[in-house]
Structure 1
Amino acid sequence: MKWHHVQENWSAFYEAIIDKWPEADEADLDEVDGDQRAFVTYLAEATGQEPAEIREELREWLVGEIPSDVVMDPVHDNHSIALSAKFVGEGEDEYSDDARFGDDSDRGDN
């Protein structure tokens, strides 16, 4: 993944960040707001490591896949739906429900 994936979905990455750096705190992450330099500085202070060490850990962490909870995030979903518009026929709305697939409220398990 690239840093822009993290920055664009910042709050959705909190769990993955705290898994990797347990010293991180959600309130502090709110303050960082996806700024990579501020994030490195914050982690260096929180962990007591040198910024160069944190940058290396961050590079290694970014090699991984986007966490599934981020992929399932509504903001990410809406972006994916918007990108799918090129595959939707003219006159159709990519955000509309498709009646062929039924309505979740009709499942009978409510």
Structure 2
Amino acid sequence: MKWRHVEENWNAFYEAIQEKWPEAETAELDEIDGQLKDFVTYIAGITAQEPSEVRDEIREWLAGEIPSDVVMDPGHDNHSIALSSKYVPEGEDEYADDARFGDDDEYPDDGD
């Protein structure tokens, strides 16, 4: 993922940030508001690391998974679908309707 994903969805990343950097406090993250320079400075301060070390950690962290709250945001649907195209057989459109599976209008029988 890219930093812009973090910046655009800052609040959704709080849990992931605090998992990676447990010393991070929500009130401070609110103040940072997704600004990378401020985040690097803050993390360097609470972890007693050099900013260059923190930037390396952030780069590694960005290589990880996007939190589910961000992935589930409708704004990311088309991007996620496009990324899924690597799993769709050649010649098949990843944006195509899946009605051919026959389950679009069917609901499980709940015994009523």
TM-score band, normalised by the shorter chain?
0.5 to 0.7
Deviation at 1:82, TM superposition (A): 7.8
State the match for 2:51 in structure 1: 51
Task: Tell me: CA distance 1:62–1:80, structure 2 relative to 1, closer, same or farther (3 Å).
Answer: closer
State the match for 1:92 in structure 2: none
Task: Tell me: CA distance 1:101–1:16, structure 2 relative to 1, closer, same or farther (3 Å).
Answer: farther
Say if 2:12 and 2:67, in contact at 8 Å, map to a contact too. Answer: no
TM-score by length of 1: 0.68
- Alpha-carbon distance between aligned partners in 1 of 2:65 and 2:44, rounded to the nearest angstrom: 24
Q: Match of 2:75, as an amino acid?
A: H
CA RMSD of aligned residues (A): 2.4
Which aligned segments of 4 or more residues in structure 1 are displaced greater than 6 angstroms?
none
State the match for 1:79 in structure 2: 75
State the match for 2:38 in structure 1: 38
Q: Match of 2:38, as an amino acid?
A: A
Deviation at 1:81, TM superposition (A): 5.7
Q: May I ask how many residue pairs the two structures share in their alignment?
A: 88
State the match for 1:12 in structure 2: 12
Deviation at 1:46, TM superposition (A): 1.2
TM-score by length of 2: 0.67
Task: Tell me: CA distance 1:57–1:82, structure 2 relative to 1, closer, same or farther (3 Å).
Answer: closer
Deviation at 1:65, TM superposition (A): 1.8
Task: Tell me: CA distance 1:100–1:7, structure 2 relative to 1, closer, same or farther (3 Å).
Answer: same
- Alpha-carbon distance between aligned partners in 1 of 2:41 and 2:77, rounded to the nearest angstrom: 35
Structure 2 portions without partners, runs of 5+: 82-94, 97-103
- Kindly provide the CA deviation profile for residues 1-57 of structure 1, in whole angstroms up to 9, marking residues without a partner as x: 100110111000000000000010011000000000000001111111111110010
Q: Match of 1:33, as an amino acid?
A: D
> Could you say what secondary structure the match of 2:66 adopts?
coil
State the match for 1:64 in structure 2: 64
- Kindly provide the CA deviation profile for residues 59-103 of structure 1, in whole angstroms up to 9, marking residues without a partner as x: 11011121223213xxx2x3146879xx69xxxxxxxxxx9477x
